[in-house]
Structure 1
Amino acid sequence: MAPPLRVAARVIALDPAGRVLLVHYPEHGGFWATPGGRVEDGEDHRTGARRELVEELGIDDARINLRDQVAERSQEHEIGDQVVRQVERYFLAEFGAENINPAQANQPDTISAVRWWTLSELADTTETVYPLGLVDLVTNIQTMGIPSSPVVLR
């Protein structure tokens, strides 16, 4: 029997210096990931991505410059005590650290840390970072611009 489908929207956030924003989750041995989560019933992916930034990071919705979808990924993994097939769309956003307000986050889930990473730090880390291929994706966006169609990530 196939695991249930979970539709998600995630955000690859870049600051003016080109650093990537990741959030840390302590479960499953700990890992870093782009902010985002489940798209709620009646939402489109873009609306879900914006809502997740507000909920997880306390960003004022008016400050979110959400750009095009740049990637997608389908992955089976455990959420809570259930294995799901999560289908994710990744959107590009541009904002700085001054826009994040953890005190305003109303659903921080199990996020234990928020950090801006340089691409060299991401390339050199031994910590688990999702999605796989993030460094190459961001490097390509910074050198060649937004892809004409979403990149499929592992």
Structure 2
Amino acid sequence: MTTPTPPLREAARAVVLDADNRVLLLRYDENGGFWATPGGSLEDGEDHATATLRELSEELGIGEKTVELGAQLAERSTDHLVGGREVRQVEKYFLTRISATDVAPAQASQPDNIREHRWWTLAELRATVETVYPLRLADLLTDVLAHGAPVRPAVLPG
């Protein structure tokens, strides 16, 4: 007997860096607590870039006009629960650079279950014992900072 494949949920996420090459992560309490890059699922008719900009505005109050998306850095596929239902989420990660002062959580229209936001240095990211998604984010950032965006998006583990 085979298990049916969960329904597809396409998502767009931002790897947000500031002028000091710190990465912005959001804290969630569910599933034992974890940190993740900003982003979420695509709405009907939306492409990944548009969804990324919308999510930054909804989750962090970042004005869409202040954000210029860079290259797609990576993608990831993982099965997990969303609203109590298992889905196969396929995520595309886009690079963007903003000023830390552009983040305005009080202006967020849909902060979801975000408990806090924090800027992480690469050293802090490598040293943490907390769960951070996507897995291998520190490795991805090391490559991007040393060599620029990849020619083809990296495939990250689920």
**TM-score for both structures, normalised by structure 1:** 0.98
Q: CA deviation at 1:97?
A: 1.1
Aligned to 1:116: 119
Equivalent pairs, count: 154
Q: Give deviations 1:7-45, integer Å, cap 9, x for gaps.
A: 000000000000000001111111000000001110000
The equivalent residue for 2:151 is: 148
Partner of 1:52: 55
2:12 pairs with 1:9: yes
Residue 59 of structure 1 aligns to a residue whose secondary structure is coil
Q: CA deviation at 1:151?
A: 0.3
Partner of 1:93: 96
Aligned to 1:61: 64
Point out 4+ residue stretches in structure 1 off by more than 2 angstroms.
none
Cα deviation for residue 80 of structure 1 reads 2.0
State the Cα distance separating 1:75 from its structure 2 match. Answer: 0.4
Match of 1:18, SS state, is coil
Shift of 1:78: 1.2
Percent of aligned positions with the same letter in both sequences? 56
Question: What is the RMSD computed on CA atoms of the aligned residues?
Answer: 0.6
Q: Give the Cα separation in 1 of the matches to 2:150 and 2:99.
A: 23
**Which residue identity is paired with 2:55?**
E
Aligned amino acid, residue 58 of structure 1: G
- Would you say 1:20 and 2:27 are equivalent positions? no
Q: In structure 2, list runs of 5 or more residues that go unmatched.
A: none
5+ long unaligned stretches in structure 1: none
Partner SS state of residue 83, structure 1: strand
- Using the alignment, how far apart are the partners of 1:60 and 1:44 within structure 2? 18
Query: TM-score normalised to the size of structure 2?
Result: 0.96
Q: 2:39 aligns to what?
A: 36
Quote the residue 1:79 is aligned against.
82
